Amino acid sequence: MTNPADSSASPLLVETHDGVTTLTLNRPDSLNSLDVALKVELREALTALADDDQCRAIVLAGAGRAFCVGQDLKEHVATLDSGTGDPLATVREHYNPITRLLGGMPKPVVAAVRGMAAGAGASLAFLADFRIGGPGTGFLMAFANVGLAGDTGVSWSLPRLVGYPKAAELMLLAKPVKADEAAQLGLLTELVDDDERVLPTAREFAARLAAGPTVAYAQIKRELAVGATGSLDEALAAEADAQATCGATADHREATAAFVAKRKPSFKGA
């Protein structure tokens, strides 16, 4: 899945190289705020990638100087002023499906968080398995600043990353988090020393994952999801099922043979 060369006007750029698909939110003039067109394209792209065997890892990035500042408030105000329809129907129509797709994506997701990630933009980053940032990276739970509660799964993801007390502080006080603090809190997996290195580092990170046992990665992600909310018996059942799935793969046979032969395994994702 690749975009045509003249895709600069598209709100979402999609590029696949060596098993890594980069999704770039492409509204730099509005700091990649999420209007309906971008949300629809992101939802459709994630739907396709979930079942795309050519995609073994995903990088989520933003064009320009910000990752994503959340909902396009100009569009939202226009909807409010029109007095027609439900101005927050987008939560169920767009944000919730996107959240389910990212949160349940059966392949690794790396967010290249260059610049600010605010509101739903931060929520998107928190749904990734890994987040790479630079000196200019920042997070802001901006929802309360506009009189709204959180969405895009932040009530689920943020407490898992930083714990309930810190999540409550960040959400209720809309307290900005700069790069160094984000790294200390665990909101960033890796903090590079140059903002220009954020996307290349994220792609290198994703490429390393794409070259690995992606069936096992999908099963590990499923195990962690069950283990986070289920009982011990549910976790054990998920583990047994996951091991049965992984044990039947060519990757498992290749890896065990490589270990015995003292060579590096070559994973195919099957």
Instruction: Give the pLDDT band of residue 159 (cuts 50, 70, 90).
Output: very high
Q: Is residue 84 pLDDT above 80, yes or no?
A: no
Judged on CB neighbours under 10 Å (0-12, 13-18, 19+), 119 is buried
Contact 43, 30 (CB under 8 A): no
Phi, psi torsion values for 71, nearest 5 degrees: -55, 140
Q: Is residue 41 pLDDT above 90, yes or no?
A: yes
Q: Is residue 6 pLDDT above 70, yes or no?
A: no
* Helix locations, 10-119, DSSP H: 36-50, 73-82, 90, 96-103
Q: Is residue 85 pLDDT above 90, yes or no?
A: no
Instruction: Give the pLDDT band of residue 79 (cuts 50, 70, 90).
Output: confident
d(C-alpha 72, C-alpha 166), whole Å? 27
- Give residue-wise pLDDT tens across range 169-200: 999 999 899 999 999 999 999 999 999 999 99
For range 199-219, the mean pLDDT: 96
For range 249-266, the mean pLDDT: 93
- CATH superfamily of domain region 12-210: 2-enoyl-CoA Hydratase; Chain A, domain 1 (3.90.226.10)
For residue 100, the model assigns a pLDDT of 97
**Strand ranges across the sheet with 116-118:** 116-118, 138-140, 177-178
For range 211-218, the mean pLDDT: 95
Domain regions of the chain by residue span? 12-210, 214-261
In 129-184, the DSSP E strands lie at 130-133, 138-140, 177-178
d(C-alpha 6, C-alpha 37), whole Å? 18
- Give residue-wise pLDDT tens across range 15-40: 999 999 999 999 999 999 999 999 99
d(C-alpha 24, C-alpha 54), whole Å? 18
User: Terminus-to-terminus CA distance in the chain, angstroms?
Assistant: 20
d(C-alpha 173, C-alpha 91), whole Å? 22
DSSP letter, residue 114: -
The tokens for 201 are 């580092």
Mean pLDDT score of the chain = 93
CA dihedral 182, 188, 190, 196 (to 10 degrees): -80
d(C-alpha 3, C-alpha 16), whole Å? 9
Residues 6+ apart with CB under 8 A from 146: 73
Q: Is 81 helix (H, G, I), strand (E, B) or coil?
A: helix
DSSP structure string for 214-255: HHHHHHHHHHHHHHHHS-HHHHHHHHHHHHHHHHTSHHHHHH
Residue 156: enclosing H or E segment and its boundaries? Answer: helix 154-162
- Give residue-wise pLDDT tens across range 225-251: 999 989 999 999 999 999 999 999 999
For residue 3, the model assigns a pLDDT of 47
